[in-house]
Structure 1
Amino acid sequence: MISLRNLTFYRGALPLLENSELTVHAGQKFGIIGANGSGKSSLFALLRGELQADAGEVELPATWVIAHVMQETPALERSALDFTMDGDRELRELQQALSAAETAEDGHRIAELHGALDAIDGYSAHARAAELLHGLGFTPEQLSLPVKHFSGGWRMRLNLAQALMCRSDLLLLDEPTNHLDLEAVLWLEQWLRAYPGTLLLISHDRDFLDAVVEGIVHVDQQRLVFYRGNYSAFEEQRAAKLAQQQALYEKQQREIAHLQQFIDRFRAKATKAKQAQSRVKALARMEKLTPAHVDSPFHFEFREPPRAGNPILTVDEVSVGYGTEPVLKGVSFSLRPGDRIALLGPNGAGKSTLVKLLAGELDVVAGKRTFSQGVVVGYFAQHQLEQLDDHASPLLHLQRLDERTAEQSLRDFLGSFGFQGEQVDAPVGPFSGGEKARLVLALLVWQRPNLLLLDEPTNHLDLEMRHALTVALQSFEGALIVVSHDRHLLATTTDEFWLVSGGRVSPFAGDLDDYHAWLVERRAQTASASRQAEPAGGSGRSAAERKEQKRQEAERRKRLAPLRKHLERLDREIANLAGTLDELEQALAEPALYESENKARLSELLARQAELKPRQEALEAEWLEKQEELEALQAVED
């Protein structure tokens, strides 16, 4: 297990953690949350041995293999597939040793190494790496391309695939969804839920945390505060805790006022001086409780946009793309004030292309795009962070947009986005990704758009800023189109879903759960079509050949049937067990359970959870084993 005791460490003169405690048992999955700059990434560096604590102890098993996502990827000639397989270091070491043994013609050593490769499932490594890359959005054709061929965002996906390829005991993931689309996020959720090791996950995606973790570690006021359950459970527990803290604070303030009133009234009277002095001492001894700071540090809203025609924008039989072959064809729709649309679709289907078309950054190849009079487009995309002037301050960026408004008004506005004090006048070059994203949003809001186009706006934003953006978007009065992997943002700020797929744009009848089901079905159909593809001319077989094929298919079904039944039974057991564990988690999330009179009940629930968790892991491992066995048998039969 991981054990942090009385942990203190600093960044320069600033304390990030002071006298903090945390215990993580093998196999547990915890989310790490906290404001940007609170020390979450530094905690990961500490666990990897890249930083040393200023005080306290950090213990974790010396034999554990730790996997994490590299932040930089050089322009390598290695293929994407080979780069991913490099994540399994033991595999690569055995392969190198085997190559040396074959060169030396050492038969005994060759046999020994083949046995070692078989023991670590080395012969399926190629397939495992390909499956990881496919899940993260890479096409089969991209697997053989060199790493240097890919852009920065796709290289980060390669780094993630390499980390997942590692057969690790501890997996440290720092904002793994930042460079993923919704399809890849949903796939990664499933992968992490089945991951057998210990997981520590830094994320600002509340739905992602809800789906993956069983505990939340909140980095708050230089402490590590643990909450049992997922992010939604954390919100409920923290709200109750803050409400109690606020009530205690208000009660204490009344007591202080009463004491101070007595002191002020009777200090000068000889007959009451002694009592007054005792109250002065009581006041000095009283532990000061801080008020509950539950408000987000970010508060902003979209100002009323200028009037524009209705419809704001019309797209008529438009084709658009980057070369001779359009990405989207025959697209037609109208946007009206108040339309709130989320774009869904597989990776590479053209969601960002459509947004660029509407932003005026791409010209139409065919058809017609018409903006009404008075349209003010507000467009947010990741590349705009790179277009900020590194030498200019947030204030100067805003002054370039508006030279007439008083400087204090601009400073007040920037303060609502978290830019205060010296930071308002500091050059933005050294700013973090989250700070630059906040500045781009501030500049966008100041321009009072009536057509708002957001392409992955939550990348780099922490939970507080995401909440502030969500609240602001809910009252935005113009037309809104969003591309995002943040399901909470989509569900709470948009009214319609449009599906971008197969070169077309069409309304999607359903919610995000339906979209997830659509993606699963699409993957299954693609896999099935690939397995069932036959060479041309198969229809001209003789009656005898068709009879033989039917006989073989019947035998195949007979061989596969027991495995399928076994998997169905495992599915039922896993589902039932998951339901029981969910009920236990809900019971354990009740604050009253941790009061002294409920100690026996708490011990009972923890013991039951400790009994069922290993059973769940064993069933899931057996399910994966049988599923792989089924797929392997199907592949052989095919």
Structure 2
Amino acid sequence: MLSLENITLSLGDRQLLDDISILINKGERIGLVGPNGAGKSTLLKIIAGEMEFNEGTIQLSKAETVGYLPQDGVDPDPQLTVMEEVESAFEGVLQLEQDVKELQQKLADLEPGSDAYDEAMKKYGKLQDRLEQSGAYSLHADIEKILMGLGFDTKDFFRSTQEFSGGWLMRIALAKLLLQKPTYLLLDEPTNHLDIESLQWIENFLLEYEGAVIIVSHDKAFLNKITNRTLALDRGDINDYAGNYDYYEEKHEERMEHLRQAYKNQQREIKQTQEFIDRFRYKASKAKQVQSRIKQLEKMDEIELDEHEEEISFSFPPPERSGAQVMKLEDISKSYDDVQVFENLTYTVDRGDKIAIVGPNGAGKSTLVRILAGHEPVDSGNREPGYNVTTSYFAQHQADELDLNEDVLGIMRDAAPKESETRLRTILGCFLFQGDDVFKKVSVLSGGEKSRLALARMLLNSANFMIFDEPTNHLDMQSKNILQQALDQYEGTFMIVSHDRDFLDPIVNKVLEVQPDYIRTYLGNVSYYLQKKKEEEEDLKVESTGGNESPDKGGKELSRKEERRIEAEIRQAKYQKVKPLSKKLEKTESRIEKLEQRKKEIEDKMADSGFYDNSERVKETTMEYEKLKAELVEVYSEWEELAMKISEIEEEFEV
């Protein structure tokens, strides 16, 4: 049992933790939630013994252990391979294995039956018992299982750790931690660097974990699946809820409603009391009653409403309407040195698509969106933007391009000089820059703050095709909700690389799965995609086993080969049906472009003050203008009909 009693911590003049007491039992699954800056990461560091506190005590038995995964900052040995780095967490076990081997060699040199041999055998027996209890015999199998569950391939085991990016280094640190099986497992934003497959794996792992788990995360779906208790930290105080995040939200809202009502009643009482005091302050006959009410106000504990209760909303500027086809990639090939990422890739984005891009890390998701955004050159093939398409792109590395000498508000003002400061501050507030934070220099911002600023700056654009690469990694729940609501109301087209199911599900209508050897579209949200993948895996398993036998490697390969053949036939049949419609769509779009151009020319003429001097010209031009508008309505209708037919064919051929 882990006990925190009266923990207090002040940072400067700010009381971050105020007399906090928590009791954590073995086996509990706890979500630690609260706004950014509330002290969640700090509390985990205190529990892990990595940070001092001002007052209070922490009690933990000697037999219990604490394991902690920070958000970032892991630093593995660059001289070690992935396997060696993970094994380094078990130096005691590895040393025990070495001692047993040395003793085996010694026994081989001793005379059986001698005193030295008998003494060595006793020692050997004890070491063997310790080795069995340590789990050494299954250690390497466990390491491989967890590394593969976190997305590593077997060939990665023997690569140097310095070959991997920060996200993969975090996975190595997570693997070491999970293998050590601490009594209390503390995870600070563990899902930020996981793809959707690894995320599902770790969910199942944590559900079966024997120790207690405390998780800081802004992934609502992850918290709902794993946790059965929620600790809400805010303004130095902590509240305990006996359920997952959904339960916490429901009960928290009930609590806040009671608090708002109590605040309203108290404010009314304060007003009435103050009015009495002001009215009778100088009346001698009421002096005693006035003094009584003054004391009453002085003793009153004023109710404070949560400063985060204020509703903040944001909406994108209305974008111009694009053509029916927003972007087309045709026969795209892309390699990095000897690594082929895409070969002859063809993909089309249609107006109104809201696409989530998922798949394992390293499959090419970020490369694909950079190509779509025009930020990544290709080896061969064509990238064709549609009519009137304007693109806006967000990626984590864009935070590095911010002017370090500029302040936060200045970055926004430079991006949209015509916007009012009120609107700029409102958008910044959506992404956790409030009050004097807007005057901070970019040079002093953390990596997460820079990323949020880059995202806020992007959202000032009125593009009709928006592309996001992991936009939610550094956002808290409120900021994610604001962005989600804005995207839900957005009238343009967007694509998002993300593994956050709760964020994606309400706003996407397609899922593009990117795998190392193929891409595939699912018509639905991420939950639908995951369900379909599960069904496909079950069908494949039945097919490869003949319904009752264990699958062998050969059976799987044969089944996959057959599956690819069927998919190729379906793609070809779909192409034959879609091709004539696509050509009609392109011709219709070309016609639209000409009509829109002529319409704009007439509107420019009509905007000229001298246009109305010639009544005959006004009459002719107005008739042409009205005819153009009617024709455009008709052609747009043709667009919609053709796009609908193509969509129906794609749905028909969806497998």
The reply to whether TM is greater than 0.5 is: yes
Q: Which amino acid aligns with 1:64?
A: E
**2:509–2:525 contact (8 Å) kept in structure 1:** no
Is 1:506 the equivalent of 2:520? Answer: yes
Please give the secondary structure, in 1, of the residue aligned with 2:514. Answer: strand
Give the corresponding residue for 1:94.
96
Give the corresponding residue for 1:205.
219
Give the corresponding residue for 1:573.
none
1:10-69 deviations in whole A, cap 9, x for unaligned? 223322101111111112111111222222122122122222221111112222122222
Give the corresponding residue for 2:21.
21
Q: Which amino acid aligns with 2:290?
A: A
The 5 A counterparts of 1:505-524 are 505-509=519-523, 511-517=525-531
Deviation at 1:203, TM superposition (A): 0.8
Q: Which amino acid aligns with 1:334?
A: T
Deviation at 1:500, TM superposition (A): 2.2
Q: Which moved more, 1:298-307 or 1:57-66?
A: 298-307
Identify if the C-alpha distance between structure 1 residues 514 and 373 changes in structure 2 by more than 3 Å, giving closer, same or farther.
closer
The 5 A counterparts of 1:128-207 are 128-207=142-221
1:219-267 deviations in whole A, cap 9, x for unaligned? 1110121111000000001000000110111111122222222222233
Is 1:354 the equivalent of 2:368? Answer: yes
Give the corresponding residue for 2:233.
219
**1:88–1:167 contact (8 Å) kept in structure 2:** no
Q: Which amino acid aligns with 1:47?
A: I
Give the corresponding residue for 2:472.
458
Give the corresponding residue for 1:538.
none
Is 1:2 the equivalent of 2:16? Answer: no
Give the corresponding residue for 1:364.
378
**2:195–2:359 contact (8 Å) kept in structure 1:** no
Deviation at 1:495, TM superposition (A): 1.6
Is 1:340 the equivalent of 2:354? Answer: yes
Tell me, in whole angstroms, the C-alpha distance in 1 between the residues paired with 2:495 and 2:514: 13
Tell me, in whole angstroms, the C-alpha distance in 2 between the residues paired with 1:97 and 1:461: 50
**1:297–1:464 contact (8 Å) kept in structure 2:** no
The 5 A counterparts of 1:55-134 are 55-69=55-69, 71-98=73-100, 101=103, 106-134=120-148
- Return the index of the structure with the highest Cα Rg: 2
Deviation at 1:85, TM superposition (A): 2.8
Identify if the C-alpha distance between structure 1 residues 478 and 391 changes in structure 2 by more than 3 Å, giving closer, same or farther.
same
Q: Which amino acid aligns with 1:3?
A: S
**1:337–1:477 contact (8 Å) kept in structure 2:** no
Tell me, in whole angstroms, the C-alpha distance in 2 between the residues paired with 1:146 and 1:107: 40
Give the corresponding residue for 1:592.
none
Identify if the C-alpha distance between structure 1 residues 444 and 407 changes in structure 2 by more than 3 Å, giving closer, same or farther.
same
**2:358–2:499 contact (8 Å) kept in structure 1:** no
Deviation at 1:325, TM superposition (A): 5.9
Tell me, in whole angstroms, the C-alpha distance in 2 between the residues paired with 1:324 and 1:406: 50
1:181-236 deviations in whole A, cap 9, x for unaligned? 11111111000010000111111111101111111111111012111100000000
Please give the secondary structure, in 1, of the residue aligned with 2:505. Answer: helix
Q: Which amino acid aligns with 1:92?
A: L
Q: Which amino acid aligns with 1:34?
A: G
Please give the secondary structure, in 2, of the residue aligned with 1:290. Answer: coil
Please give the secondary structure, in 1, of the residue aligned with 2:147. Answer: helix
1:289-342 deviations in whole A, cap 9, x for unaligned? 113445367543222224443322222343334346642344434334432111
Please give the secondary structure, in 2, of the residue aligned with 1:137. Answer: coil
Is 1:532 the equivalent of 2:546? Answer: no
Give the corresponding residue for 1:33.
33
Tell me, in whole angstroms, the C-alpha distance in 2 between the residues paired with 1:90 and 1:226: 38
Give the corresponding residue for 1:551.
none
1:384-406 deviations in whole A, cap 9, x for unaligned? 22333334322333344345656
**2:77–2:85 contact (8 Å) kept in structure 1:** no
Q: Which amino acid aligns with 2:45?
A: A
The 5 A counterparts of 1:370-409 are 370-403=384-417
**2:4–2:22 contact (8 Å) kept in structure 1:** yes
Is 1:418 the equivalent of 2:432? Answer: yes
Q: Which moved more, 1:501-510 or 1:436-445?
A: 501-510
Task: Return 5+ residue gaps in structure 1 as ranges.
Answer: 536-638
Q: Which amino acid aligns with 1:140?
A: T
Q: Which amino acid aligns with 1:73?
A: D
Tell me, in whole angstroms, the C-alpha distance in 1 between the residues paired with 2:263 and 2:417: 45
Please give the secondary structure, in 2, of the residue aligned with 1:72. Answer: coil
The 5 A counterparts of 1:298-337 are 299-323=313-337, 326-337=340-351
Give the corresponding residue for 1:435.
449
**1:300–1:472 contact (8 Å) kept in structure 2:** yes
Tell me, in whole angstroms, the C-alpha distance in 1 between the residues paired with 2:104 and 2:395: 53
**1:320–1:362 contact (8 Å) kept in structure 2:** no
Please give the secondary structure, in 2, of the residue aligned with 1:316. Answer: strand
**1:243–1:292 contact (8 Å) kept in structure 2:** no
Is 1:285 the equivalent of 2:299? Answer: yes
Tell me, in whole angstroms, the C-alpha distance in 1 between the residues paired with 2:136 and 2:541: 27
Identify if the C-alpha distance between structure 1 residues 262 and 53 changes in structure 2 by more than 3 Å, giving closer, same or farther.
same
Identify if the C-alpha distance between structure 1 residues 123 and 504 changes in structure 2 by more than 3 Å, giving closer, same or farther.
same
Tell me, in whole angstroms, the C-alpha distance in 1 between the residues paired with 2:336 and 2:90: 38
Q: Which moved more, 1:415-424 or 1:359-368?
A: 415-424
Q: Which amino acid aligns with 1:57?
A: T
The correspondence for 1:271, drawn from 277, 285, 297, is 285
Q: Which amino acid aligns with 1:207?
A: A
**1:6–1:19 contact (8 Å) kept in structure 2:** yes
Is 1:449 the equivalent of 2:463? Answer: yes
Q: Which amino acid aligns with 2:499?
A: H
Please give the secondary structure, in 2, of the residue aligned with 1:492. Answer: coil
Q: Which amino acid aligns with 1:59?
A: Q
Tell me, in whole angstroms, the C-alpha distance in 1 between the residues paired with 2:535 and 2:443: 45
Tell me, in whole angstroms, the C-alpha distance in 1 between the residues paired with 2:307 and 2:259: 10
Q: Which amino acid aligns with 1:80?
A: V
Please give the secondary structure, in 2, of the residue aligned with 1:9. Answer: strand
Tell me, in whole angstroms, the C-alpha distance in 2 between the residues paired with 1:85 and 1:163: 11
The 5 A counterparts of 1:471-482 are 471-482=485-496
TM-score for both structures, normalised by structure 1: 0.78
TM-score for both structures, normalised by structure 2: 0.76
Q: Which moved more, 1:19-28 or 1:400-409?
A: 400-409
Q: Which amino acid aligns with 1:45?
A: K
Give the corresponding residue for 1:45.
45
Tell me, in whole angstroms, the C-alpha distance in 2 between the residues paired with 1:412 and 1:213: 33
Give the corresponding residue for 2:501.
487
Identify if the C-alpha distance between structure 1 residues 117 and 330 changes in structure 2 by more than 3 Å, giving closer, same or farther.
same
Please give the secondary structure, in 2, of the residue aligned with 1:446. Answer: coil
Deviation at 1:408, TM superposition (A): 6.7
Give the corresponding residue for 1:599.
none
Deviation at 1:522, TM superposition (A): 7.4
Identify if the C-alpha distance between structure 1 residues 412 and 209 changes in structure 2 by more than 3 Å, giving closer, same or farther.
closer
Identify if the C-alpha distance between structure 1 residues 522 and 110 changes in structure 2 by more than 3 Å, giving closer, same or farther.
farther
Please give the secondary structure, in 1, of the residue aligned with 2:172. Answer: helix
**2:319–2:492 contact (8 Å) kept in structure 1:** yes
Q: Which moved more, 1:121-130 or 1:290-299?
A: 290-299
**2:76–2:169 contact (8 Å) kept in structure 1:** no
**2:510–2:524 contact (8 Å) kept in structure 1:** no
**2:185–2:213 contact (8 Å) kept in structure 1:** yes
Task: Return 5+ residue gaps in structure 2 as ranges.
Answer: 108-119, 556-655
Q: Which amino acid aligns with 2:363?
A: A
